[in-house]
Amino acid sequence: MGRQRKRVVTGEADPPPTRKDEKPATLQRKEKKKKLDIGKIFINISIGLCIFSLIWFFYALYMRSSLAKRVVTLHHSPPVLDVNSTSAEVSPERFWGSYRPQVYFGMKTRSPRSVVTGMMWMRQFSEVDVNLRHTCEQGDRLQGYGWLMHDGLSFGVQEIHDSDFTLTTEFVKRMGGEHGGDWTWRITAKQHSSAPHAPVISLMFYAAADTQGYLEAHVEERNRLGSITGFSEELGNFKITFRKPVAGESSSAKYASYNYLQTMSPGLERLTDIVRNSLNRRFVYSHPSGEKRQYIAVDTYKPQHQPKSADPRKESDFVLHQVTVQTPFQIEVLFESGSFRDRPNQLSAAAMTEELEKRKAAFDAKFEKTFGLQAKGLGQAQVKFSKAALSNMLGGMGYFYGQSVVQSVYNEYPLLYPEGALFTAVPSRSFFPRGFLWDEGFHQLLLSKWDPQVTREATAHWLDLVNMEGWIPREQILGDEARSKVPAEFVVQRNENANPPTLFLALQKLVEQLQANPDAESSRPTLPFLRRLYPRLQTWFEWYNTTQTGPLPNSYRWRGRDKDTNLFLNPKTLTSGLDDYPRASHPSAEERHVDLHCWMALASGTMASVARLLGEPHQEYERTHQTLSDNALLDELHWSDQLRSFSDYGNHTQAVSLQQEKVYVPPGQPRHQFPVARLVRSVRRAPKPQFVNALGYISLFPFLLHVLTPDSPKLEHIFRDMRDADKLWTPYGLRSLSRADPLYMKRNTEHDAPYWRGPIWININYLAVRALHHYGNTEGPYQEKAATLYQELRTNIMNNVYRQYAETGYIWEQYNDSTGSGQGSHPFTGWSALTVLIMAEQY
């Protein structure tokens, strides 16, 4: 059997037979590799996209977080004011003051956690159960109250007219020591001649700490609080002494009953409640010449619900002295600083009277030198009124400290703004006892004439509140005391919302004063002030110039209009300051607002002036000012040939009205189970892009802010509309909306009375008188007409505001265009006090 022999192949063997549909192995390997490469590419792309998405996600989170923080990040430049600029060490003469405008009478220091002092009162044995007065309230229905003299620095005299008696509150400060010196109050009570009996009054003087320092009561003769001693970081040691009442200048003692209260306060906004809840009728007033009668007095304070304080550190000392005495009488309260060691005598009795008379004489002399009303031939009564108007604005200066509540589109919930201080005038001590941005520029037009330092400090405080974006919250609600007076819906400030930049009006005046008299002592600090202010001023201007722009180049639009087109007859524009003045009926991004255009013309011109003064680049501001002041551009954007007036532009229809909505009630169902029918807006004709036919204050802005050239033919139309009694003219001033307008004196909702739809407002009338004075003293074809209108309008305004003050005891927020009667909040010695400048012809 043989073995199988191996086949030996010589040369190449034939390849094995292949199927027609098979690919060569090389190609298979290439295709396989290609598929692997494509897969890797897809995987790499996916990984890259995931990484990019994660990076973008975290970047978006970071940016949103960063943008969300911008609204509460203050401007990066050094503050205009040093941290201790309002301290007793740096500014002792302004340290103490009547910086609590929301109370009838009180004082505090310009420091964040000041010890506060104040006065309450009530009439005993009256028909009203408890008529406690403390914070300024229109509901108290006082016959009048306000400062008659106040220099903003060292003294003040105020009269408060209650039902059948008058309280005169006076204070005088005396410098000395290291903590702002001493001060003395004198309160004089006199019955009205019409009162059948001499009323018995309880005055309550108090001191309250605000989270720091302490107070100690020193009781004499059973219930009589003789004095309070205390200590705080800003004041050091101090003593408050309560003198016994005397019968006026005779200094003879008066019978009085005494009570006191010593407790802890959870906050300054609770002081009135604490006193009210501590009152008791168990005390007996035993006048030697009359019968014994039970009277109401402070006893012990027990919180009604025993609330547990969330922050026990807010509990602060509160001490009150009550004296019950029959009119007439006079009482003095002395504050003495522990560091004032070389005082010549106590500032009381004859020494107080002598010092007070010196201050009054100095005030009268300075007032006449500043405003020259007697030289103009005005009577004593009108001069006295003018002094009261100025004094009420000075006495209405407040010092506030706290945090605004703000929100941007990047915040889901409101945030607390950084803590800050604000030294500012307030529009109304009763209704608006806090800072308002657009009011403050008007306030400082008057105050800059009296004391430029007040204007510099107030403006600096406002600009020190600007954030990194350039936004300033338009309404400053700082501290619990201020917040307690504000409805919840107005507390949150939104950073897209502006307010007219009227502080540029005040800055314009400071620049003019400096240029006119650079060596004057009052003007010398202005240049370094402007230098420190300038970086913030730049950012503030740029914020307006970028966030409030309109749809066309060089046009502007107010943000923040009400978006509810169902309830409002015309959605309000609170941000413009002229709340319910008619704008485009249907808010949109296509609107152009003529008043904002003119404000920006003013602001850019002032920025150019300040930049030139400081040697900074001014060309860009000058170009902006020239562009916005171009009358041809203004005509193109805002002149309506059909209406022959300057107008807003937007999506508008005039065919709107408020009508009772229809509520369906099924048959047999009781009506009271269904919603009450409301007034809602009915639109009878669809809106379209057009000029807004609302003749009034808005139509006048190119004239009011001197944007029109003296030879502009548009002045002829403006003067004709102003002087037409069927449109804007009244014997009391210019009405806010033409009487021929469909929305004249129309309610905006069933609960929202007309506000800027007819009544006369003094701030705009001041601008009108100022503009007429400008055009009446500038050569042009309408110079004579402007001069004539100036004399008529000036006379009408000053006569009516004075007459209403004489009749009612108040300067008012607005005036009725049919009767001239004062209406709205009162006293309103914010911009209504500009009547003083109208009388003085100082513009």
Q: Half-sphere exposure of residue 472, counting CA atoms within 13 Å on the CB side?
A: 30
Q: Are the C-beta atoms of residues 98 and 433 closer than 8 Å to each other?
A: no
Q: How far is CA 767 from CA 340, 775, 838, in A?
A: 47, 12, 10
Q: Locate tokens 């101090």: which residue?
A: 238
Burial class (CB in 10 A: 0-12, 13-18, 19+), 370: middle
Kindly report the CA angle at 329 between 328 and 330, in degrees rounded to 5? 145
Q: Which is the catalytic residue, given 579, 590, 630, 635?
A: 579
Q: Locate tokens 């019950």: which residue?
A: 324
Q: Half-sphere exposure of residue 520, counting CA atoms within 13 Å on the CB side?
A: 15
Kindly report the CA angle at 808 between 803 and 813, in degrees rounded to 5? 80
Measured N-to-C along each axis, helices 437-450 and 380-395 cross at an angle, to the nearest 10 degrees, of: 120
- In this structure, the chain runs to a length of 843
CA 63/CA 68 separation, integer angstroms:
8
Kindly report the CA angle at 291 between 289 and 293, in degrees rounded to 5? 130
Mode of pairing for the β-strands spanning 144-150 and 435-436? unpaired
Q: Are the C-beta atoms of residues 674 and 663 closer than 8 Å to each other?
A: yes
Name which of 551, 823, 580 is nearest 697 in CA terms.
580
Token code pair at residue 646: 């300057």
CA 324/CA 177 separation, integer angstroms:
34
Active site (annotated) includes residue 813: yes
DSSP 29: H
CA 589/CA 651 separation, integer angstroms:
9
Helix (H/G/I), strand (E/B), else coil: 183? strand
Residue 680, beta-bridge partner list: 659
Q: Half-sphere exposure of residue 123, counting CA atoms within 13 Å on the CB side?
A: 22
Q: Classify residue 554 as left (phi > 0), alpha (psi -120 to 50) or beta.
A: left
Q: How far is CA 353 from CA 155, 172, 346, in A?
A: 12, 9, 12
Residue 170, beta-bridge partner list: 157, 186
Q: Are the C-beta atoms of residues 361 and 291 closer than 8 Å to each other?
A: no
Token code pair at residue 782: 């309408």
DSSP string, 105-120: SEEEESSTT--EEEEE
Residues whose CB falls within 8 Å of the CB of residue 218, separated by 6 or more in sequence, listed in order:
225, 226, 227, 228, 229
CA 158/CA 433 separation, integer angstroms:
18
First CA to last CA across the chain, in angstroms?
Answer: 140
Helix (H/G/I), strand (E/B), else coil: 467? strand
Active site (annotated) includes residue 579: yes
SS3 readout for 474-537: CEECCCHHHHCCCCHHHCEEECCCCCCCCHHHHHHHHHHHHHHCCCCCCCCCHHHHHHHHHHHH
E-strand ranges in 613-765 read: 639-640, 645-646, 649-652, 656-660, 679-683, 688-691
Q: How far is CA 388 from CA 444, 532, 811, 829, in A?
A: 17, 34, 10, 9
Please identify every residue annotated as catalytic: 579, 813
